[in-house]
Structure formats: C-alpha cells, structure tokens
Structure 1
C-alpha cells in the first residue's frame, strides 16, 4: 500500500525525491488529487497509464511551477498569456503548441503537436519547484471512474499501485481544470471545469467556442464515457424510482424521493460552488450503497453548472468508445 503523509516541508521533499526516481506520487491540487510522474521520464509516464488503465491516446496535463517553466516547453500566444497572467496559478489548463526541442516525453502529448499546461496552486506547485521539472498528473483514479477528491478516495482506488499519497484534506474546487485552446481568432472550450466560462469571457471579451464532442480528442477529459460510478446514472430526474439512490440539488426534492435508498444533497442552498466541491465525493458515496442506479436532480447549466453537467453527462454515457475515440486508436 502507498505511504500516506500529511503536508509539511519534509513530505514535499520526500515526494520530490520519489518523483525524481521515477516513482508515482498522488498529490493534492486545488481541483482534484493528481497521479503525478516526472513528465520528462518515459518510464514514469508509462507508469501513470498502467496504474490508471488509461488509454494511451488520451493525453495528460503537464503541470508547471511558474511561467518560466511553461515557456521552456510551449509557444505562448498573446491571448493565452493574458489568461495565464489572470488565472494562474489556478484551475485553468491551456493547450499550446509544443516546442520542437521540448524534452517532455511523447507519451504525455499522446502524439499531438500540442501540450496541455497548468500551474496549480499550493503544495503541488511547491513539489514541482523542488523537482525542477514539470509533472504529468491526471486525476488520481482508475481511468473512466470517479475522480479522487481526498487522500482516502485515492488510497482506496490506487493505493496498492503507487508509492506515496500526500494528504491535504478535501479538494478545494472538486472538479478538474477548465481546458481552453486559442485557435487563431477563436478561443475554444475543450473541457469545462473549475473556472467558469463567464470568467474567461469577461477577461478576453470574447465568447468561447465549444468543441463538437464527436471531434478527435485534443485534450484530457474529452472521452465520451468518463467519471463513471459502477451504478448507472439517470439525469435531470423529477421523479425517483424505488430502489434508486438520489443525488439531490437545492431545497426542493423530486417526487418520490422517499423511495430512494440514500439521498445526498450537493447543495441544499443551491450553490454551484458547493455542488462542484461535493460532486465526486457524493457520487462515490452513493455508488457504494449498492443501488443499481443513481438518480440526479436537475442542475443549472450556468457558471460552474456547465462543468458539473459535463461530468454527469459523461458519467451517464454508455461505457463504450465513441467513433472519434475509435479513430484515435487506429
């Protein structure tokens, strides 16, 4: 089993030393817990794919400690630089052209000529700075399953496969980062996440474009089926069926909620921020009730609601590859 350490300077240095040796370490970020490896070490990066059971066509986010590190690996256009200056460190990932001489291992980019970069807040940034190299760090969970937002959740899922878990308590944001790509005069939202589209649009004074979900994968988190519990998911319910578990939202309950085997409310006051923080943890807790289906009450699509609904739609999707994903395998 993995060694679990609380956060202090010794733990940060111990994590950096393990990463330098090519081992895997689960680290807390403000979004979710990440399964980290030295992004320049091919064997270490391959270990991420093996531990998660992650398809090799699905690229990884590369985490940096500062802008200077980002500039070593990617070409940064003026609009992306504006977003970096405004939102880094934080829950924003930018897909940027990969420099030809960058020593990021090709597995990280999954054969693409771009790299997804993020600067995390807090302890993760300190670990990267201590290592002196970027970290590839997807969410610390078995591929396709619910993302881990606590050290306990990570340990239960991946503890037997990794060396160390750093425990900083529950994740602050609770959703993965928002992923954006500047494409000429267009700014594309590749994955909604912990930074709302409205905040980006307010800074850029430009409406974000959306990517057709049938398009080829350009960034992490674009697989059709993802973030899935073992139970099936039924979304936007107004009536609960007997034997279902209920993922509730707001002060009003769906008809027949008394039929539910368990109820957890993402936010009794209807706060999307609170709902985002609770989403993955509550999905896990309802999943272990043994119910075959988790019914989910409607959640607004504005603000962080876009990212919450994105995760729920992918969690409810058929557990098979899309046409675009199949094309990536060929």
Structure 2
C-alpha cells in the first residue's frame, strides 16, 4: 500500500526510511542529518561507506544552505532544476547533511528532483533528504514501485507509489570544484546541454565524489553482454532499433534513446527473472543520452575501460 506524503514526512522525522519516487529512479530516503538513519540506508543496500549519497532538496535555496554554489553551479541549477542533474560542490559547515552521507568528503552532491511527490515530501520535511536508488548495492536501479519494494521494502517504514520513472537512469552528476567543471556521471541531462550553459567541460574528474562509479554496478544476476548483434545460446537480446530481436524485448523499436533509457533497468530486471544464460544488448549510439545508457550497460557488464 502506498503511503501518503504526510505519512512519509512523519517517518523521515522519526528517523525511518521511505521508498521515494523521483523522475530518475526510486530512492531509499532518510533524513540527511540523521547519522543513524543514513547508516540504516547503507546497511539495507549493502552499500560501501566510501560511496557518497546525494542530498535531495526542495529548491535552490535549500541547495545553497548546504552547498557553496558558484556562478557556474547556479547557472546549471537555473537551467536544469527541478530535474535530473546533481551538482557536486564544496559543502557548507553544519550538520544538515551528516559526514557519513558525504562519505567524509569536503564536497556535497545535491539536486532538486522533478517528481511532484518527491518535491512535496521535501517541501513538507523542510530539510535535505538523502535518497540513493532503492536497490541492493550493485543491482539494477528500480524504476517501478513494485521493483523498489521488492529490493529494499523490508527496510522501509513507508513507501510512496509515484508510478513508473519517466527518465529511467540516475541523474547526471557534474562537479564544480576547484574552478573546474567536470562530468562525473552521465545522465539524461547530456554533455552537450551542460556545455551549452557553462562552456567546455574539463577532462577527467574526481569520480570518488560521485555515486554510481563502481566498476560492477547496475548488474542483474545473469551476465550482461553489450554491443551484441544477436542473442547467443540461452540468451535474451534486448534490442534497440527496427528489426533488432524480439519486439517484446526491445528497449526501443524506433531507436529512441529516451524510450530506451526509460525501459533499461525495468527490462534488465524482467529479462533476469526468466533466468537466461545471459542478457545481450544491441549496440546503442554513444552520443547524447546514449552516453548514459552505455555507461550503465558497461558497468552492468563489469567493463568500463
């Protein structure tokens, strides 16, 4: 049964965990300043504590209360918030986001989500909420309420059904540290869209400041094979584009990257439930949103080189 926004706020204030919908993926949420609640997230997910969490806030003022946002960061916030962009910036002093949530770093990852239920809860709660994806660490992120409850519902004292996530991959993460602007994790806000606001991005970046950078991540139980032209023996092929495999298992029959992103984790999970020998995925263009899709697939396959 889905919780009301008011019930979710009560759970958060009491130090409990809530399954929270966002436009990207479902999150497992807690009061960012409550170290015990944050520790419960790490325990429920089996997440390594060196992996920082994103602080979700209701608006730009909420972000500026916990992060030092420079001119470039504010330009990105004004262009893409509310929405699927996370900004990594120097952390302000204070206990609104505990040290454990920041993995002991001097930076903080912050965003204003676009999902109306998430924003309603954040506004009523009145402070930052950490909400990493509501899956056990290393597994595909949940983009439906049922998948989120299946993964970490055992740990949550409340769960909000916000429907299917429309974006389907985790937020883009951009660092604005030390006078450099770097892309730490690709997402649906693309490299080109970011550069249109702030100019060319710096090469490289400090990946340790971003979640979702483990080599093996987003992985189903079945082995994943990428850039496959056809399914092998016992495999399910997730196709992309006209004529690529069984239409039932197509990420996007029309070759639409946004449709493919929205379907990616749900279809990885559905294919995995068939207990195949493996999951093969058709080639996907490595441009625009395809950069994010391929990033997730390479990590699901345990390959980032």
Normalized against structure 2, the TM-score is what? 0.95
In structure 2, the residue matched to 1:20 is 13
Where does the alignment leave 5 or more consecutive residues of structure 1 unmatched? 323-330
The Cα offsets for residues 90-130 of structure 1, whole Å up to 9 and x where unpaired, read as 00000010012343111110010000000011111110111
Residues of 2 paired with 1:16 and 1:123: CA distance? 11
Per mean C-alpha deviation after superposition, the further-off stretch among 82-91 and 194-203 is 194-203
What SS does the aligned partner of 2:2 have? strand
Give 2:76's match in structure 1, choosing from 83, 94, 99. Answer: 83
In structure 1, the residue matched to 2:113 is 120
The answer on 1:285 being equivalent to 2:278 is: no
Q: Which runs of 4+ in 1 moved over 2 A?
A: 100-103, 183-186, 207-212
Give 2:2's match in structure 1, choosing from 5, 9, 20. Answer: 5
The answer on 1:165 being equivalent to 2:145 is: no
In structure 1, the residue matched to 2:252 is 267
- Note closer, same or farther for the CA distance 1:292–1:210 as it changes in structure 2 (3 Å cut): farther
Per mean C-alpha deviation after superposition, the further-off stretch among 178-187 and 286-295 is 178-187
C-alpha displacement of 1:185 = 4.6
C-alpha displacement of 1:263 = 5.3
The answer on 1:52 being equivalent to 2:45 is: yes
What SS does the aligned partner of 2:155 have? coil
The Cα offsets for residues 159-216 of structure 1, whole Å up to 9 and x where unpaired, read as 2221111001100111110000124453200000121111111122x2223537xx66
The answer on 1:140 being equivalent to 2:134 is: yes
In structure 2, the residue matched to 1:237 is 228
C-alpha displacement of 1:76 = 0.7
Residues of 2 paired with 1:292 and 1:158: CA distance? 26
Give 2:243's match in structure 1, choosing from 245, 248, 252. Answer: 252
The answer on 1:43 being equivalent to 2:39 is: no
- Note closer, same or farther for the CA distance 1:185–1:115 as it changes in structure 2 (3 Å cut): closer
Give 2:216's match in structure 1, choosing from 210, 218, 225. Answer: 225
Normalized against structure 1, the TM-score is what? 0.88
Give 2:187's match in structure 1, choosing from 164, 188, 193. Answer: 193
C-alpha displacement of 1:69 = 1.2
In structure 2, the residue matched to 1:325 is none
C-alpha displacement of 1:26 = 0.5
